[in-house]
Chains A and B, each alone.
Chain A
Amino acid sequence: MYRPILATHGLTKSFGALNATRDVSIDLNSKEIHAIIGPNGAGKSTLIKQICGEMQPDSGRVTLDGQDVSKLSTFARARAGLGRTFQVSDLCREDTVVENVVLGSLGAEGAVWRFWKSALKTRDLCERAERALERVGLIEERYTRCANLSHGQRRQLEVAVALTLSPRAFIMDEPMAGLGVEGSKQMTSFLDGLRKEAPILLVEHDMDAVFALADRISVMVYGKVIATGTPNEIRNRKEVREAYLGDAV
């Protein structure tokens, strides 16, 4: 039987009278990029938080590889295979680039209960970390303190940490935010290749990137998914244009 890698089933969450997400059911199939778009306040970030376990839904479930992960904590979901990048870079700013990615290696290999040998001298941890840095093009910066990186480099580092986890699915919250034209292009071509490894659930405001990358797009408005389809279908849907795209596309 065909089964999506990641799926939400009727996720509903409200804050008082505000329905942040209403009965959201989306899925993510292998090797695809599924983009979620929608105006500010449409509930995209709330949806991501419920998928990653930062927030408990009022009702509904999240499944990863068919397993219900709704009751798991954030770190257990990460261990089960959710590789997440944050909307606002969430890195250890005082640490060097390589320390940030080695943290990812620790998580991937469950190697945290080791107390003697230096982490940065442990070969398997470092190799995994350096492979990830090479892929995002940050290997030259490995000994730079994270606080001294440019904004774009921090976005790359976020992705590198997620790569070390070799996740079953990537959840990316606005990876292009603040990247500029050139940076967005690079990130777009990188994500394009990445989908073969693991599918990506992509929340993004950069419409050029979304329409260039996505296999499917879901449009959220006021907490509800109003349309799901291929980029072409979405582009031509009347209600989507009215609700969100306007004349942009």
Chain B
Amino acid sequence: MKFEERYLNLFVLVGLLLLPIWAQAMDEPFTITLATRAVILALAAVGLNLALGIGGMVSFGHAVFFGIGGYAMGILAYHAQTYTTLSLGLFETGGTNSMPVIWLVAMLLSGAVAFVIGLLSLRTSGVYFIMITLAFGQMFYYFAISWAQYGGEDGLSIYVRNGFPGLNTLVPIEFFGICFVLLCVTLVLFARLQSSPFGLALNAARQSKSRVAAVGLNPTRVKLLAFVLSGAVTGLAGALFADLNRFVSPTMFSWQLSGELIVLIIIGGVGRLMGPVIGACVFVALEHFLGEITDFWHVSLGIILLCIVLFGRGGLIGLITGKEGAHV
């Protein structure tokens, strides 16, 4: 039986919403935390999907933005909790523990860094693009490791989760709600953008830069903007992830994380609206359930990934809906 893709999308979103509500009723807060983790990873991968899925930019350095989001949260909250000032040359701040402010800073910073990385990386393509983005990722990783002021290798612990007006973010289900709403808003924006003129041009730029140039559009500029938006979304996810764990460390910058984000997208379906979400759910479920049984759970993930790459190029969505997806 073949499913319409939008019914599948709706089904997954509703399922992802109902699971923590059920867990709340059953008093199983850990399940809520798992669902929150899946939602946040999904958000990070939705960001990457914009660059990788529509724009064909296989970024192997998206952990940079995830980490920047994380450290934006970590640093601002650290100064707020220790009552110290953070001085940034011209102006000083006492940090903050307000989530909306942290999100804004995380998105602006990661967007700005994405602009610089994109500007340099987009001069290349193919394997070189993968390698240069990886190199940026490693740069940030090693920088974070040696950044003693903010914990270096050990990372930074934030003792109280940051606040959101009107909600008690320490209650797992309320924090889940925040993350879920942000994911849904991002998905709506992603869907609009994908069908908009900009999305059409970006989609065309993935397939043929010369075609886009021949109609008088600058393909590099289109891709660069997509890369910036992509970095900002992944940065937002990084800030949420840090808040979920109340901890930031250099592993948020690690290349393994960049790789995982790519894997999530491939599992779900490259360029599909819900591809990253389905990928993240499968990933977190495997990590948890198989991880309890064996330390070698990554093997099963590898096998699934292998099967999808070999037999179902549209990812799980492609397999279920029977439609070929965008190929990278």
The finding on whether chains A and B are genuine partners in a shared complex, rather than unrelated, reads yes
* CB atoms of B211 and A91 under 8 A apart: yes
Min Cβ gap B220→A in Å is: 9
Chain B positions within 8 Å of A108 at CB level: 215-216
Which residues of the partner chain B approach A78 to less than 8 Å between Cβ atoms?
213-216
Complex Cα distance A102/B192, Å?
17
- Indicate if the CB atoms of B215 and A119 lie closer than 8 Å: no
A75 CB-CB contact with B under 8 Å: yes
Judged by a CB distance under 8 angstroms, whether B193 is at the interface is: yes
B211–A103 touching, CB < 8 Å: yes
| Partner among A92, A115, A116 whose Cβ is within 8 Å of the Cβ of B211 | A92
Q: Is B203 located at the chain interface by the 8 A CB criterion? A: yes
Q: Is the C-beta of B326 less than 8 angstroms from some C-beta in chain A?
A: yes
- How many residues of chain B get a CB closer than 8 Å to chain A's CBs? 26
Contacts of A93 in B (CB 8 A): 207
Bound CA–CA A165/B211 (angstroms): 13
Instruction: Check if B113 is an interface residue, CB within 8 A of chain A.
Output: no
**A120 in contact with B195 (CB, 8 Å):** yes
A94 and B208 CA atoms in complex are apart in Å by 11
Q: Which 5 A-B pairs have the closest CB atoms?
A: A107-B215, A79-B216, A78-B216, A107-B216, A118-B195
Of the listed residues B211, B216, B219, the one surrounded by the most CB atoms of chain A closer than 10 A to its CB is: B216
Residue among B196, B201, B210, B216 making CB contact with A165, cutoff 8 Å: B216
Q: How far is the CB of B225 from chain A (nearest CB, A)?
A: 8
Decide yes or no: A95 and B216 within 8 Å by CB, A74-B210, A115-B196 being known contacts.
Answer: no
User: B200 within 8 Å of A by Cβ?
Assistant: yes
- Please measure, in the bound complex, the distance between the C-alpha atom of A107 and the C-alpha atom of B215, giving whole angstroms: 5
CB contact list, B24-47 vs A, under 8 A: none
By a CB distance below 8 angstroms, the chain A residues around B222 are 112
CA distance A75 to B215 in the complex (A): 7
B308 within 8 A of A: no
- Asked whether A150 is an interface residue with its Cβ less than 8 Å from the other chain, the reply is no
Chain A contacts for B193, CB-based, 8 A:
115
User: Is B218 at the interface (CB under 8 A from chain A)?
Assistant: yes
Partner of B217, one of A102, A107, A119: A107
Question: For the complex, is B204 an interface residue (Cβ under 8 Å from A)?
Answer: yes
Question: Which residues of B192-236 are within 8 A (CB) of A?
Answer: 192-193, 195-201, 203-204, 207-208, 210-219, 222
Q: Can you list 12 A-B contacts (CB < 8 A)?
A: A75-B218, A76-B216, A78-B213, A90-B210, A92-B207, A93-B207, A94-B207, A94-B327, A102-B200, A106-B201, A107-B217, A117-B196
Q: Report the separation of the CA atoms of residues A122 and B203 in the bound assembly, to the nearest whole angstrom.
A: 17
A115 touches B212 (CB 8 A): no
Contact, CB under 8 Å: A95 / B207:
yes
- CB–CB A104/B200 < 8 A: no
* Residues of B contacting A161 in the complex (Cβ-Cβ under 8 angstroms): 211, 214-215
A73 and B212 alpha carbons, distance in the complex (Å): 12
Evaluate contact between A122 and B197: CB separation under 8 angstroms. yes
**Among B197, B208, B210, B327, contact of A112 (Cβ-Cβ < 8 Å):** B197
Is B207 a contact partner of A119 (Cβ separation < 8 A)? no
Q: State the Cβ distance, A136 to closest chain B Cβ, in Å.
A: 16
In whole angstroms, how far apart are the Cα atoms of A191 and B118 in the complex?
A: 42
**Residue in chain A with minimal CB distance to B189:** A115
- B207 contacts which chain A residues (CB < 8 A)? 92-95
A12 to chain B, nearest CB (A): 24
- A13 in the interface (beta carbon within 8 A): no
Q: Which residues of A contact B217 (CB under 8 A)?
A: 75, 106-107, 112
Is A111 interfacial (CB 8 A cutoff)? Answer: yes
Q: Is A169 an interface residue (CB 8 A)?
A: no
B196 lies within 8 A of A114 (CB) = yes
Additional A-B contacts beyond A90-B211, A91-B211, A115-B199 (16; CB < 8 A): A73-B218, A75-B213, A86-B214, A90-B208, A92-B204, A92-B207, A94-B327, A95-B203, A103-B204, A106-B197, A106-B200, A112-B222, A113-B198, A115-B197, A115-B198, A161-B211
Q: A116-B192, A116-B196, A119-B197 are in contact. Are A92 and B203 (CB under 8 A)?
A: yes
